[in-house]
Amino acid sequence: MAENGVRSRVKCRIGFVGTGGVATRHARFVATFDDAEIVAVIDLDHDRAATFAHAHGGRAVPDVAALIDAGVDAVYVCVPPYAHGEAERALADAGVALFVEKPLALDVPTAQQISDRIAAAGVVSRVGHHWRCAEPVRGARDLLAGRTVRQVSGYWLDKVPPVPWWTDRARSGGPLVEQAVHVLDLARVLVGEVDEVYALSAGPPQGGTTDVATSGVLRFACGAVGTVSTTCALAGKLRAGLEIVADGLVVGIGEDRLHVGDGISTRRRRFDPAIARRAADREFLDAVRGDGSPPAPLGLPDHAEALRSHRLACALATSVGTRVPEEAR
């Protein structure tokens, strides 16, 4: 388990809770690190866990207790929104470092309970807001330094993801919580905290309860105003990101792109998103191995910091239901 001995150990012992597509992405990057090895994995679908272990290493075990008994130093928790809670609490109590994929939970109380448990245990935690590690975000932060931000426009324009739980809001939390939290986290990093939100939805698609489209208004503490919009009505992912208007400048940011304009000309650059994703896994492993540095503003957030973005996303989702403005902090 993740104690001082990890620093001197040749390989950090990694486990997985959940072995779906996101877990597979992390496992592929972990495989490129010569100081880490996957030793045990669990999934509600044991056959899927066994297939994952065969492909990436380790062995499939029946439950979290067996994962802990396997001597893991760190665990990736890659489960749907409704499944967060029990695993994180048990692993934190056992002294295991945690990489938790977003969103943190369906709601704020569950995420807060997990965060409190992690803090009490004193274990390393990071949350999968890997956009913070992307070069476009670093470039945008430099460009906006010293400028007054006036307006923020966020968007996630996509299809229905190919997982059975996503169209059930009671299991996914809806698009603002499950997807747009990436964009909202980026808005907090580049512009600052949001005080108040108000959101509406266009209703669920046929056969589901998740909103097919949402639009929200945000009031930032710095005085800027913003919007965020989502849809799952398309045949594929069109784009996701932010446009930030500051005095004399507009900066557009996505996981893989940066564009800068002044109303007359625009400069555009493209980036490989795999670089930031790999960097996020490397940053987590370094923290587990005893780097000792607190999370950087443009590095992966720990659980307590990510909770602020989760709270913002949940405030928007709540406003969709209440149809009144909601406090975001």
Domains of the chain by residue range:
5-123, 132-270+310-327
Distance (Å, whole) CA 22 – CA 87: 17
Find out if CATH 2.40.40.20 is the number for domain 132-270+310-327.
no
Bridge partners, residue 16, by sequence: 41, 76
**Digits of tens for pLDDT over the chain (329 positions)?**
545 567 666 899 999 999 999 999 999 999 999 999 999 999 999 999 999 999 999 999 999 999 999 999 999 999 999 999 999 999 999 999 999 999 999 999 999 999 999 999 999 999 999 999 999 999 999 999 999 999 999 999 999 999 999 999 999 999 999 999 999 999 999 999 999 999 999 988 767 899 999 999 999 999 999 999 999 999 999 999 999 999 999 999 999 999 999 999 999 999 999 999 999 999 999 999 987 566 777 899 999 999 999 999 999 999 999 999 999 98
Class of domain 5-123: alpha beta
194-201 and 326-327 beta bridge pairing: antiparallel
Give the pair of three-digit tokens for residue 315: 């405030």
Residue (of 94, 96, 52) closest to 73 by Cα position: 96
Q: SS3 for 308?
A: helix
